[in-house]
Amino acid sequence: MDTSRYAELFLTESREHLSAINHALLEMEQNGGTADTVGALFRAVHTVKGMSATMGYHDVADLSHELETLLERVRRGDLAVTSPLMDVLFKAADTLESAIENAVADGPPVKIAKIIERLKAISTDTASGNGGNGGSAPRRTSGKAARQRAAKKAATPLSVPTVRADPGTIVKVTLVADTPLPGVRAVMVLSKIRALGQVVAVDPPEDDFGHDGFNGCFTCTMIGPALAPEIEQAVRSAGDVDTVQITGAPVLAARRGTTVLQAVGNEETGVKQQRHVRIDLRRLDSLMNLIGELVITRGRLFEIGRGLADPALDDSLAQASRLIGDLQDEIMTCRMVPVWQVFDRFPRLVRDAARTLGKDVTLEIEGKEIELDRSMLDEIGDPIVHLLRNAVDHGIETPDERTKQGKPAVGRLTLSAARDRSNVLIRVSDDGRGIDRGKVLRKARDTGLIDPATAELTDEELMRLISKPGFSTAEAVTEISGRGVGIDAVQNRVRALGGSVDIRTAPGRGTTVTARLPLTLAIMRALLARVANEVYAIPMAHVRETISLDGANVSTLQGKPVLLLREVVMPLVRLRDVVGLPGRVIEAGDDAEQAIVVELADKEVAVVVDQLPGQQEIVVKQFDGVRGGLNLFTGATILGDGAPALIVDVSSLF
């Protein structure tokens, strides 16, 4: 059987199980080897073993087998959960990830012999009584013989305690015809069943799932309290399941106001089949590009239609516009994914960084279900890595320092996501020492970045300084940070995505860095602003209102122009000055200037322009900034009349 065409499917599924493995290991390290945690870890490793064996990835299968063997001893209580053991398990998980990636990419073999020997050594010491509950050492056998024994054990019904009279629940599963890699899918289904109870028999044996003759149908016997609907839902959640027949499962029955468990035999459950399709991200990107071109064409057609004044054409254009809008919404929805798909890898990163620096840090994640466009989600990973590393290295103190300050020895780091209208806020907060403003101020003076007479720094000035390329107050370069690229990289990446970065810090209490990002990079609604003969686009997400400056209360404060609007004083900037155009000479009969009240977080500014041509949905086209040019724009777009327009970076106006 040619399995190469299923490599991407295997890789996708394996990455999900690797994420589960890392989370279970972190839980195991923090709370000990509870039955649930070790069981979840064991099931994830077991599933990877079965999938890799079916694919013919022998290195992955061998490493998974040895890891599974060790975890079985932990599960039985033969081996205590210790720091050295956790180090080996984390190392094995890292090697397993490398082996999987290498197997799919068909690269040079990953060196797994050393970690396998370490796993075997721990298992052997445990079995001989050096690390467990005692007992004589077993006879050493080859890995092949061990796998044969494990397969025989899995296919042989285990003895059922005599206190239980029923023979268990029988689950018969038939996969959808022409399911890609049916053996792998069957292993995944079986792992879902194992999560609900003890599987005591499988027909045909699990080892046969990888054979060419496997037809996608198997039966297993499970002992456990799971109800029939619960079993069916778990089985179908694995995907590509056609039918599920369940007999002998306990069900809930209401009788005289009480709830009791009853055994039901020879009953088939019927739940609507779940239909999910895995789509290559490149296809979604292609769809997004096409809908973007449609949006541009729609704007162009409306411009042409205005000149023709044909009612029938106007009706057709209105209907086409609605259809294009609906199609755009559907495609955008398809591209939205929860942030946990990126956030899930950060607990392990924080754990490793903290151990490297000799610190104790816990990471709390909030808002996992907040959704972002897939392309945006891919881009924010690296900035978050920089923020977390900086927080662990510069922010969180060592346990001794924290204890002396009356803080808990374990530092707290929080990564959160939250919606704010059409934006998503990504926050990284710590309860550490905070940024030393005095140290930053001295460094900035020494390097000539600020006026020597400056006595203190605001949060905005602090942000500008620490985001300068190469700026760092670290006294030495470490494996984690100290090269002055952390906040600089975050600022550049977030601004390139059309967002902004804000920082708040307090001595001894910690630091919070907030990245404000648009939901998507592709399409947005914008207010068009004209100055001279140029048109600029300002994202509507940041526009509060527009007013005419004719008769408006414009004044100066500390030598700078301000606008007094309903007893609120806000800075006033002219877009002409910002983009470097000559000032406007207003003559009799000219239209009054317009002001756009733009807000970002809790700040407001009035932007003066010549005219406001209107609003338009624009397709964002990214571009690389010109070296030495103004850092004022986040992209460009094509307007309905075919003319280009630059998209203003709102954060640059403050």
For 349-359, write each residue's pLDDT tens digit. Answer: 999 999 989 99
Q: Which CATH class is domain 1-140?
A: mainly alpha
For 516-549, write each residue's pLDDT tens digit. Answer: 888 776 778 889 999 988 899 998 888 888 988 8
Q: Which of 27, 66, 206, 390 is catalytic?
A: 390
For 438-484, write each residue's pLDDT tens digit. Answer: 888 888 887 777 777 777 777 777 777 777 766 666 655 455 554 34
pLDDT of residue 25: 92
**CB-CB contact of 160 with 200 (8 Å):** yes
Topology of the domain comprising 281-337: Helix Hairpins (1.10.287)
- Architecture, CATH, for domain 349-518: 2-Layer Sandwich (3.30)
DSSP label of 621: B
DSSP label of 622: -
For 46-60, write each residue's pLDDT tens digit. Answer: 888 888 887 888 899
Cis peptide before 205 (omega within 30 of 0): no
Q: CA end-to-end span of the chain, whole Å?
A: 62
Listed in sequence order, the DSSP H helices in 497-603 are 575-579
pLDDT of residue 276: 58
Domain ranges of the chain: 1-140, 152-271, 281-337, 349-518, 523-653
Confidence band (pLDDT; 50, 70, 90) for 128? low
Distance CA 63, CA 46 (A): 11
**CB-CB contact of 27 with 41 (8 Å):** no
Q: Check if 72 is active-site.
A: no
3-state secondary structure of 12: helix
Distance CA 194, CA 147 (A): 19
Q: Check if 289 is active-site.
A: no
Distance CA 654, CA 652 (A): 6
Q: Which of 68, 397, 593, 604 is catalytic?
A: 68
Confidence band (pLDDT; 50, 70, 90) for 14? confident
Integer Rg of the chain from CA: 31
Please check whether the two domains, 152-271 and 523-653, share a CATH topology: no
Computed over every residue of the chain, the mean pLDDT equals: 79
pLDDT at 130 over 60: no
**CB-CB contact of 294 with 268 (8 Å):** no
Q: Which of 637, 639, 634 is nearest to 652 (CA)?
A: 634
pLDDT at 139 over 60: no
- Architecture, CATH, for domain 152-271: 2-Layer Sandwich (3.30)
Supply the CATH classification number for the domain 523-653.
2.40.50.180
pLDDT at 159 over 80: no
Q: Give the residue, 575 or 309, on which the prediction is more confident.
A: 575
Q: How many CB atoms lie within 10 A of CB 462?
A: 19
Q: How many CA atoms lie within 13 A of 360 on its CB side?
A: 11
The gap from C-alpha 222 to its chain's centroid, in whole angstroms, comes to: 35
For 62-108, write each residue's pLDDT tens digit. Answer: 999 999 889 988 888 888 888 889 999 999 999 999 999 988 888 88
Q: Which of 636, 604, 631 is nearest to 620 (CA)?
A: 636
Q: Check if 68 is active-site.
A: yes
Q: Which of 17, 23, 46, 542 is catalytic?
A: 46
For 222-248, write each residue's pLDDT tens digit. Answer: 888 788 888 888 898 888 888 999 887
For 492-523, write each residue's pLDDT tens digit. Answer: 788 777 778 888 888 889 999 998 888 776 77
